[in-house]
Amino acid sequence: MPTSIITTDDLREFKMELLEELKTLFSKQNSGILKRYLKSSEVMDLLQISPGTLQNLRINGTLPYTKVGGIIYYDVQEIHRVMDENRVKHNFDL
């Protein structure tokens, strides 16, 4: 296995490339270019809920969904809306 020497300039170049990739990723996320629809498994991972809980959210109409070809998709904006609507605020009167 051949060895190669990594110089400070190589590390600096790598750092700049990595930063550019991260900037691109974050700008896509902020502009909504990333996934708009998530599959059930992705929603379960995101919300840390079980398949049964996700099914209950569908059945009782809490979380809207779209079914295409047997695959259920959830709109990320709807997930955020449901989370915002169910936010618990405490009033601590002292």
Is the pLDDT higher at 6 or at 73?
Answer: 73
Domain ranges in the chain are 37-85
> In angstroms, rounded to a whole number, what is the distance separating the alpha carbons of residues 94 and 6?
61
Amino acid at 54: L
Q: Give the integer Cα–Cα distance in Å for 39 and 31.
A: 21
Segment 38-77, tens digit of pLDDT: 999 999 998 999 999 999 999 999 999 999 999 999 999 9
- The answer to whether 44 and 51 are in contact (CB under 8 A) is yes
For 44, other C-beta atoms within 10 Å of its C-beta total 15
Confidence (pLDDT) at 56? 96
d(CA 16, CA 10): 10
